Chain A
Amino acid sequence: MSRQASRGTESKKMSSELFTLTYGALVTQLCKDYENDEDVNKQLDKMGYNIGVRLIEDFLARSNVGRCHDFRETADVIAKVAFKMYLGITPSITNWSPAGDEFSLILENNPLVDFVELPDNHSSLIYSNLLCGVLRGALEMVQMAVEARFVQDTLKGDGVTEIRMRFIRRIEDNLPAGEE
């Protein structure tokens, strides 16, 4: 049957569209629920964080990557393994700060915004802010406190989407007193 045949190949793409569309519905709902864009951004970041702290386990189980020795290696793993695995894209890593504690992820195309146009009255909405939360949450679970934020966004007319990542500090395990 011709209908059957055409479906198989499409199905992979379809399931990523499921995520894209679901995310879109979520953002739309949040925009209705909250009065200003800042609150929506905050909520998206929070949800992203919650996803990140869980996603890291799935990631470590699936990817077999070991411990990273420095922040540069972490950056590589994020871009080449994690983004590839979950979003099917490989962002490029640029703009390292001289101290090696900041870099940018450049997303040529961002699957989250595949079907999206920002209306004029939501100019301060950071549509994909969930991603920053995911990155922050996931890295926190491997003892790295980072800050992630969007500095460029194709939705706002920039040529590419850029996420700026900044390493803040290593989180030391605080063992309860008496346990070594």
Chain B
Amino acid sequence: MADEALFLLLHNEMVSGVYQAAEQGEGENGRCITKLENMGFRVGQGLIERFTKDTARFKDELDIMKFVCKDFWTTVFKKQIDNLRTNHQGIYVLQDNKFRLLTQMSAGKQYLEHASKYLAFTCGLIRGGLSNLGIKSIVTAEVSSMPACKFQVMIQKL
């Protein structure tokens, strides 16, 4: 089934829809990011719930992060995270060298400033997924050269 194209197009529409609505009146840039992030959060929650239904209990935090990098990422973006780093104190950096939602944009610097729009949903997706596995976190993303990007996950200790 070729529904991947459908998801990519839907995601693009969501981003442009949210920003167009903001242009016509209410809200500034930050609100749009929050909106997209929230949508991602909700989807992440739902997905991880379906996804871990038949899996064994996770050993620890790192095990969960590995699961997100491998299985979760593969399902959503058709590839694994290329590099996972951690300081073992609650900060994880997930690096994707060819992030699916950025590959359709120019690889140069031209649209670099717009990249954050296309990462907000995914930040929410990670945060939502982790949240349903009992980990409270803050997820941010950064791009230095397209289409590679890094997601930084900061675990909030309870």
Contact = CB atoms under 8 A, between A and B. Distances in A.
A22 B56 CA distance: 26
B50 interface: yes
A76 to B, nearest CB: 19
B82 interface: no
A88 B16 CA distance: 27
Interface string A97-136: 0000000000000000001000000000000000000000
A28 to B, nearest CB: 7
A171 interface: no
Interface in B1-29: 1-7, 9-11, 13-14, 16-18, 21
A7 B7 contact: no
Nearest to A46: B17
Contacts of A86: 1-3, 5-6
Query: Which among A2, A17, A22, A85 has the greatest number of chain B C-beta atoms within 10 A?
Result: A22
Contact of A47 (B4, B17, B51, B55): B17
A139 to B, nearest CB: 16
A3 to B, nearest CB: 5
Interface in A78-95: 85-88
Nearest to B56: A3
A85 B5 CA distance: 11
Interface in A1-34: 2-3, 6-7, 10-12, 14-19, 21-26, 28-30, 33
Interface in B21-51: 21, 35, 38-40, 42-43, 46-47, 50-51
B43 A58 contact: no
B83 interface: no
24 contacts: A2-B56, A3-B56, A6-B54, A6-B55, A10-B51, A16-B1, A18-B76, A19-B3, A19-B7, A24-B42, A24-B46, A25-B39, A26-B14, A28-B42, A43-B17, A50-B13, A51-B9, A54-B9, A55-B6, A58-B2, A58-B5, A86-B2, A86-B6, A88-B3
Interface of A: 2-3, 6-7, 10-12, 14-19, 21-26, 28-30, 33, 43, 47, 50-51, 54-55, 58, 62, 85-88, 115
